[in-house]
Each structure stands twice: as structure tokens, then as C-alpha cells.
Amino acid sequence: MEETIEGYIEHIIYRNQENGYTVANLVAEETEITCVGIFQYLNEGEAIRAKGVYKEHPSYGQQFSVSSYEIVIPQDSLAMERYLGSGAIKGIGAALAARIVRHFGDDTLRIIETEPERLAEVKGISERKAREIAEQVEDKADMRKAMMFLQQYGISQTLGAKIYQQYKQDMYRILKENPYKMAEDISGVGFKIADEIAARIGIHTDSDYRIRSGLLYILLLATAEGHVYLPKRVLLARAEKLLGVQADYMEKHIVDLAIDRKIVVKEITDDFTDEKEQVVYASQYYQIELHTAQMLHELNLKDTVDEEVIAEKIRRIQKAEKIELDEMQQQAIAEAVKNGLLVITGGPGTGKTTTINGIIRYFEMEGLDIYLAAPTGRAAKRMTEATGYEAKTIHRMLELTGAPEEKSGSIYFERNAQNPLEADVIIIDEMSMVDIFLMHALLSAVVSGTRLILVGDVNQLPSVGPGSVLKDIIASGEFPVVELVKIFRQASQSDIVVNAHKINQGVPVSLDNKSMDFFFLKRYDANVIISVVITLIQKKMPKFVDAEPYDIQVLTPMRKGLLGVERLNVILQQYLNPPSKEKKEKEHGKGLFREGDKVMQIKNNYQLEWEIRGLYGIPVEKGVGVFNGDTGIIKEVNTFAETITVEFDERRFVEYSFKQLEELELAYAITIHKAQGSEYPAVIIPLLAGPKMLMNRNLLYTAVTRARKCVTLVGDEKVFAEMENNKMEQSRYTTLDLRIKESH
């Protein structure tokens, strides 16, 4: 049964800043009580009245678990001195608090609230300081009032704090007039949250604010599917479904949004039907495509260099490096020398890495500064190993900082148009993974005159983020492109490479298992397939490819279903990291995280801090940013501090609060989409029938090319054949190629 206790907070033992979870010592009638609960705005020295129940913690003994509390205004001089001296008010310490209370006695609170200028009567307080003290006391009172107001609409303390900090006293007006404004102004508040709040406040379904906000929200959601715009007919159909409002009623709102420059409406011609149709962009995305196109043109400079001089230097490189470059590789090096911007594309085994090495050696001979980068940590690590040159992630090269720009919530790079990269040559690998936002940020930091070389496999799946950057740059036909097609002798001995090219060309692949690195185990029942996958990971594969079980990656086309990521991970966790008394765990959602689990970050978090630890766990480097697709191992589950520590590639340690766990998921099995840009010693691909749009050639090709030493498919050979013959790709609504042609 709930009890009520009253006292003052003597000491805050622990506070999770994310969710306000606090452990504090409360003194009530000379008795010290350990209180636990959500106290977002509680300071030492403050008096509270709390409701809750006493519970016995296995490690920390009796605690009072608080369900609700209210601040008790200090009534007497002792309580007031304790409050002022606690550090709750900036600029007042214990000694100054004692002097204030000695001077004004029990009248102290009234003086601060109604005659704050009189605080200057106390020695050590200027008139300015008196005003600051009064403002702080007033702000804290306003904050508490605001939190109580927001709680009646079911708004959490964490979200309430964000709303109050953004709007202060304007908060009441905005919530009553247009709560949808929060979706534009406050990160973490999407349309859905704003819509729930609006419904509780009593805003009508057909409110202008609601429809406008809903249309913008749909355009934002479309970027999660990779789109930069939506055809107007698609936008209105989705809006009808989401908002429950007729399409013709929303036409005028599209016009209003365009007038307010929140959206851009354009007419484009369909390449296949030749029909014109209206399309709608959120303004930010239209401008990003347009600006990206303009910056690409600015880099596309020609350099007149004697062909014979280039050829002679290439001959010297081949002799010095003891390599033989074919005609297209030599052409790629020559084009890199002659052009400010170059695209090199080709499938596995076609010598992209050798070509990059040749380009590096050429520009090294010229004494130029060369930067190498790739979209992911794994891809950058591979690039470093292949070239002997340090490669960084693009985010790291651009010096990502954790500070978001003011209103937009977008990320901020130290390297930008005002502070560009100091390089003569920049080579980016795995370009198929680069989305329109990252491309824009990269180009903003590259000055005209710097050579930019973009390398990638255009047949891989497109980026997780919006855009089809590599494909659109090639499709525009405005820039030099060298396509490497010849499979080199060493690579041609690998059936992974040979079969990947066969898949890409739609040529039937032999599944007779006579290969040394490409196997197909025919099984037709989902549970039998899973059993085979477990045996392969635990017993067969580690010895065969000389790797740890954790390095062997299960790749599956789907999230749901009998062989989807969600089901596979629960089963694989049981076998590969079973429960143990030595391993702490934390339940989350429908599953749990356990020490030793393999996990993946599933969204870009530009504020999340990491540290690289040296000997004895001492941090040797710190930074920010953990990205969609980064995988690591759970090193510690701390139930008291409510944190989980994950070690990612390059010994980067990241601490997650329990509230941030929705950003992580188990990664024993991952979708093929999430494996982009990564390479594993061995991959295992379970295959049974699935949605036709998803089960395509593109997906199969990407999965097979993720393996370095061995690919094993387990499942139905008919599904393999269907995927190989299915050329349907989920098309993306992007127009970077059009913007490039227009900008010429």
C-alpha cells in the first residue's frame, strides 16, 4: 500500500540525465531514507512530499520507490537556508545562503519573489546578482508549473523539459493554438506525438495546422524509404490514410505550404511513359539535391596533362609496385589525373583496389596530399588494410561534432565551406552507401581544384539514407565514369566473385557444391534451416575460415517471418550466448540484452559519445557519433546505473542509458540491407520464399559479395533461381540526375 513521506533531499547519489531516474537520500524527521524514482528537476536541499512504497533491493537494502511527488515550498528560515545553500541557485553557496537568511529570516522567500532588489542589502550581493537570483527562483517555479500543466496531457518529464526550454512562457499559447509546431521545432517530437497531444487538448481533425504538419510528416517518413520527394498523387493517398481527410480538401494546403516555402512542387516527365506529373519535395531536400548538383559541377574541372607523361608514370608505377594494370585500370588513373571529378565503378574482383593503389602512387609521386575515406568504420578499415594508407569514415574526416545546429537538429561538421578539407586528392570508397545528406556535407568541405574520386559498385543496394547518389551521378552522363569489368585471374579462382557476376548478369549459378568457397545446402523447412545455421556457426565454419563464431554473419532478406531477423536473433542468442549466472541481462521490448551479445546500432546518433580505451581501460581518445549499421559486443549491463556498455570496432566504447536501448538490436542475424559496406570472413544466407519486390537479384548480389572466404546458402534452390531472375528493384524517387543536367 502507498505511503506518503515528507522531508528534504540531503544528497543525490545518482541521476540518469536522459530519463531523470534518480537515487537520493531524503531526511524525514531525523531519519535517512533512500528514495528511487523519476525526479527530473529535484536539487539537493529541496523539500518534497512523496508517495510510494517501500521495497527491498537485493544489493542495496530497503528503498522508497516513489510513484509521484511534489515540491514543498520552504516555510521556515532553516528550510530556506538549506534550499538556497544546496547549489540549486547558481552563485549562492552555503555561507551566502546563511547571510541572506540571517538578514531576512522567515520572510526570505517573499523578499526574493516580490522585492528581489532588497537582496542587495546583504553583503556580497550586487544589484545585478540580486536580479539573477530572483530570475532563477522564478524560472524554477515556472518550470514546475509548466511540468504540472504538461503532465495533465500525459507528457513525460523528459519531453516536457524540452518543450519548456524551447518555448518558456509561450508554451501555453503554442500548445493551445498549434501543438504541431513542436514537430518542426523540437527534436524527438514527431507528428505522431504532436497529434496525440493535440487530440488530448481538443484540436479538430481537419485543423489547418494538423493537415499541414501531416503532409510534412509524410514527406519526412518517405526519406526513411530512401525517397527525396513523392509524386503528389502518392503524397495525397498517404495523407488521406494518415489524417482521415479527403484528398481534394488538402489541395489548398499544398499550395499554402508551397507559398510558405515549406515544400517545392515541380513537374517532371516519366522516363518510361513520357507522361508529366507533379511531384512534391520538402524544401530542405529539394535544396540539398540542387546544391549537391551545383557543387559537383564546380569540381568537374579539366586539367591538360600530356598523355605520354601520364603513360610513362603509369609504367613506372607498375614496375615499382610489380603490378600489371589492364587498359581500363590505366584509363582510370589517367582520368583521375585529367579530371577534377571521377567515378570508378565495378563489381567484385575487377581490380578497384589495385586501381585506387595506382592512383595513390601516382599522386604520391606528384607530392600531393591524399585523403581516403569510406562511409562505415568497417569499409574504412578495409581500405586502410588494402592501401597501407590511413582511411577514415567520412564523418570522421569531416570532423563531426556533437552539437546540432540550432533549430534544424541537423548535424554539424567542423569541416565545411568555411573550413574546407586541406587535401589535393580525396578518394571515397563504397560510394553506393553514401546518401544525399552525407554527399552534400562532403562536397561542402571540398574546394574547387581538389580532385574527388568516387569509387563504388553501382549494382549494390542503394544507401540506407535517402537518395541514389552514385547511380544518379552516373545516370546524368555529365561526369567522367570508368567502369571496370574484367575479372582478374586471382579473383576468377573464387566462386564467390564468379557467381556474384553471374547473379548480376542473370546467368544460372551451379549449386553442385563442388566449389571451395560457395555452398548451397538444400533444406525446405524453416526450423531445419535454423538448425543447420546453428551447426555451421558453432562447429563447421570457424575452423573452415579460421574465424570466431561471432565473425560469421547470418544475412537474411527480411525482418519478419520464420527466417526474419527478429525470430532468428532470439533463437541464435539462446544457442550462441545462452543465459548464465555470470552474465547480467536487461529485458527490453519483446526480448533482452545480455552481456556478451552481438548488437547493432539501428539509427544514426550524432550526439552519442564514444571513447577508445587503452591499457587498463584508460580513455586515449574521445569523439561523438555512432551510426546505423555499426556492430559491437555488450561488455557490461549495469542495472544500478541503468546503462549498457558496448564495444564497437576500433575499441570504441559507448555507454547507452536504458532509455536509449531502442537504438540497439541483436545482430547475430541482420538484414542484407544493413550489411552494406561490410565484409565478413563468412556469411550464411537462409533462403525461403518471401515478397517478390524484396526477393530480387540486387539483394542476392549484395549478400553474396559481403563474404571474403565463404558463402553458404541454406534453403530452397527454387527461391535462389527466382531471386536471380527477378530484376525488380524498389525504385527510389530521386532527381539528382535531373538537377545535375539542369545545373550544367
Residue 349 is assigned to a ligand binding site: yes
> What does the pLDDT read at residue 87?
66
Residue range 150-178: average pLDDT?
75
- CA dist 258 and 242 (Å) reads 21
Residue range 657-674: average pLDDT?
91
Scanning the structure block, which residue is given the C-alpha cell 587535401?
A: 423
Give me the chain's average pLDDT, please.
87
> What does the pLDDT read at residue 58?
84
- CA dist 517 and 496 (Å) reads 7
Q: Do the bridges between strand 631-638 and strand 643-648 make them parallel or antiparallel, or are there none, so unpaired?
A: antiparallel
**E-strand spans in 16-137?**
21-28, 31-38, 47-57, 61-72
Tens-digit pLDDT profile for residues 358-381: 999 999 999 999 999 999 888 888
Q: What is the CATH number of domain 3-144?
A: 2.40.50.140
Q: What is the CATH number of domain 494-729?
A: 3.40.50.300
| 3-class SS of residue 168 | helix
Domain covering 180-279: architecture: Orthogonal Bundle (1.10)
pLDDT confidence bin for 254, thresholds 50/70/90:
very high
Tens-digit pLDDT profile for residues 194-225: 777 777 777 777 778 788 888 988 898 898 88
Which of 87-96, 264-273, 391-400, 458-467 bottoms out in mean pLDDT, i.e. has the lowest? 87-96
pTM: 0.75
Residue range 408-413: average pLDDT?
63
Q: Would you list the domain boundaries of the chain?
A: 3-144, 180-279, 300-487, 494-729
pLDDT confidence bin for 261, thresholds 50/70/90:
very high
- CATH topology of 300-487 equal to that of 494-729? yes
- As a three-state string, the secondary structure of 100-167 is HHHHHHHHHHHHHHHCHHHHHHCCCCCHHHHHHHHHHHHHHHHHHHHHHHHHCCCCCHHHHHHHHHHH
Contact status, residue 440 vs residue 291, Cβ threshold 8 Å: yes
- CA dist 433 and 428 (Å) reads 11
- pLDDT above 60 (res 21): yes
- pLDDT above 90 (res 152): no
Which of 348-352, 357-361, 383-387, 489-493 bottoms out in mean pLDDT, i.e. has the lowest? 489-493
Tens-digit pLDDT profile for residues 96-131: 888 888 888 888 878 887 888 888 888 888 888 888
Residue 269 is assigned to a ligand binding site: no
> What does the pLDDT read at residue 598?
96
More confident residue, 164 or 424: 424
How far, CA to CA in Å, does 322 sit from each of 93, 316, 318, 354?
73, 10, 5, 11
Nearest partner of 451 among 332, 328, 300, judged by Cα: 300
Tens-digit pLDDT profile for residues 59-78: 888 999 988 887 777 777 88
Tens-digit pLDDT profile for residues 702-736: 999 999 999 999 999 999 999 998 887 778 899 99
> What does the pLDDT read at residue 404?
47
Q: Do the bridges between strand 643-648 and strand 680-687 make them parallel or antiparallel, or are there none, so unpaired?
A: unpaired
Which cell goes with 45? 536541499
> What does the pLDDT read at residue 18?
61
Q: What DSSP character marks residue 261?
A: T
Domain 300-487: state its class.
Answer: alpha beta
- CA dist 699 and 671 (Å) reads 10
First to last CA, the chain: 74
Q: Dihedrals φ, ψ of 540, to 5°? A: -90, -50
Tens-digit pLDDT profile for residues 556-587: 999 989 999 999 999 999 999 999 999 999 98
Q: Where are the alpha helices (DSSP H) in 467-625?
A: 469-476, 489-492, 495-505, 526-535, 541-545, 565-576
